[in-house]
Structure 1
Amino acid sequence: MHEMDLLKIENLTAGIEEKELLHGVSLTVGSGETHVLMGPNGAGKSTLGYTVMGSPEYTVTGGTIRFDGADITRESPDKRAKRGIFLSFQNPVEIPGLSLSDFIRNAMEQITGQRLKLWDFKKQLRAAMDVLHMDAAYADRDLNAGFSGGEKKKAEILQLLMLKPKLAILDETDSGLDVDAVKTVSAGIAAYRETCGGSLLIITHNSKILDALTVDRTHIIADGRIVKEGGAELIAEINRSGFDAYTGKGAV
């Protein structure tokens, strides 16, 4: 493993029960790099993200996942989170009875193993919310309860800004957002990169969310396999021509 490699996936096969969804996937993300994962519906994009995070829904049947030099292939999601991996969800869950503020504070304390001074925490939270143009009242609302799609996505990016993970996997964070919300979320992602220098693996259909970022590497996945890799120019190619050349039949 190269000393600058943060995430190194080698020949990974994984699936749900008997159905194999990833077939020998290899992908490396270096420290401080921004990578984009694109592909048609059902290609395995989200499966890869959830498998890296250690979701119990998916079973790894071959290959390895290494993070920051350690083999995490069999580790639990909470251990991976403590190592510095963050996964945003396409459809964030609602948790009535737990405020957004308390959720983030608890998560920060779990990861750092230290109690946070309330004043310092609130100051950090307010600054992060300002980046996302979020009203201060959201901090006291139940996590995602009654939030619009855009508000849920902003709450996810707020967690990203507060937790400062080494690697953020953003799964369709831009889906269902209007143009203004995409710009705000994009600015939040850029702020994460600027403030802590973390690495990004962005799963997306919408290149607009990438406007504020410098993309180092693009990966195209189809039918559970990485079929092409390149730089940011690959995103423009997909915007022009779609995925037909990689599937033989377009999106499935």
Structure 2
Amino acid sequence: MSTLEIRDLHVSVETKEGPKPILRGVDLTINSGETHAIMGPNGSGKSTLASALAGHPKYEVTSGTVTLDGEDVLAMSVDERARAGLFLAMQYPVEVPGVSVANFLRTAKTAISGEAPALRHWGKEVKGAMENLRMDPAFAERSVNEGFSGGEKKRHEILQMELFKPHFAILDETDSGLDVDALRIVSEGVNRAKDTTDVGVLLITHYTRILRYITPDFVHVFVDGKIAEEGGPELAERLEDEGYDRYLASAQA
């Protein structure tokens, strides 16, 4: 079993006015096979946590620790974090003109595993994963995310997750911009990856609708850069009814 452990994490972002503290002491432990949902209002620091874990240079960790099976994640470069088993499904996937999805996937898989996958086996694996996500085979020849719809971008992120088989997947608002059918298909992909690889999932979302398809083991309410409350799936149901007002009122008090 693998463990991703976050302890007293403080993160700032550079602005025109200077460094601005965003995360104010986050403690979180995720084990293999667990799904942790992080919910909270806009501006609470959820995406900052995702970016800091992935190693985005815009975000400065000012104190605290992040370890993966005892190894210091914060001392790793972005590519080292990927090879160690961290995966980020981005909220806003970037376009890479001129690089086909097929080439991107095989190159990334080679970089992560340290060796190129056998073409015959890899081709079947990619084709099967694309079929599961209801993706047209022609999708593989398109440039990465160029001209993709919101649903296509998010399916491509989950396709990567299924193929790269990380130890921990950070899904940053994977449900945003998806219609009901795309949400169901993407959620099935996440559940399939969990069932086959025992991946630990950190699912960041504003809304409870994706949690109807991906059942969390733990729910964490994020407000003002830290966890305000923790619970099980029942906490998400309460948030559906009550919203975040009482947390915001407490943070402003």
Deviation at 1:207, TM superposition (A): 2.1
| Residue pair 1:186, 1:211 contacting (<8 A) in 2 also | no
CA RMSD in angstroms, aligned pairs only: 1.5
**In structure 2, what is the equivalent of residue 28 of structure 1?**
29
- Out of 4, 9, 17, the position equivalent to 2:6 is 9
1:93-113 CA-partner distances (Å, limit 9, x unpaired): 110110111111111101111
Deviation at 1:5, TM superposition (A): 5.8
| Residue pair 2:2, 2:167 contacting (<8 A) in 1 also | no
State the TM-score, normalizing by the size of structure 1.
Answer: 0.95
Q: In 1, distance between residues paired with 2:101 and 2:78?
A: 21
Deviation at 1:206, TM superposition (A): 2.8
Q: In 1, distance between residues paired with 2:117 and 2:185?
A: 28
Q: Are residue 105 (structure 1) and residue 106 (structure 2) matched?
A: yes
Structure 1 residues 40-79: aligned runs within 5 Å = 40-79=41-80
Q: In 1, distance between residues paired with 2:250 and 2:216?
A: 27
4+ runs deviating over 4 angstroms: none
The runs of 5 or more residues in structure 1 that have no matched partner are none
Q: In 2, distance between residues paired with 1:115 and 1:201?
A: 28
Q: Which amino acid aligns with 2:8?
A: N
**In structure 1, what is the equivalent of residue 245 of structure 2?**
244
Q: Which amino acid aligns with 1:194?
A: D
Q: In 2, distance between residues paired with 1:73 and 1:192?
A: 26
SS where residue 228 of structure 2 aligns? strand
| Residue pair 1:36, 1:217 contacting (<8 A) in 2 also | yes
| Residue pair 2:45, 2:223 contacting (<8 A) in 1 also | yes
**In structure 1, what is the equivalent of residue 167 of structure 2?**
166
Q: In 2, distance between residues paired with 1:70 and 1:64?
A: 10
SS where residue 161 of structure 2 aligns? helix
- 1:122/1:5 Cα in 2 relative to 1: closer, same or farther (>3 Å)? closer
Deviation at 1:81, TM superposition (A): 0.4
Structure 1 residues 80-119: aligned runs within 5 Å = 80-119=81-120
Which is further off, 179-188 or 114-123?
Answer: 114-123
Aligned residue-pair number:
248
SS where residue 74 of structure 2 aligns? coil
| Residue pair 1:35, 1:216 contacting (<8 A) in 2 also | yes
Deviation at 1:116, TM superposition (A): 1.6
- 1:91/1:178 Cα in 2 relative to 1: closer, same or farther (>3 Å)? same
1:140-177 CA-partner distances (Å, limit 9, x unpaired): 11101111111111111110110010000000011011
- 1:151/1:249 Cα in 2 relative to 1: closer, same or farther (>3 Å)? farther
Q: In 1, distance between residues paired with 2:219 and 2:233?
A: 6
State the TM-score, normalizing by the size of structure 2.
Answer: 0.95
Q: In 2, distance between residues paired with 1:223 and 1:115?
A: 43
Structure 1 residues 205-216: aligned runs within 5 Å = 205-216=206-217
The runs of 5 or more residues in structure 2 that have no matched partner are none
Q: In 2, distance between residues paired with 1:135 and 1:53?
A: 30
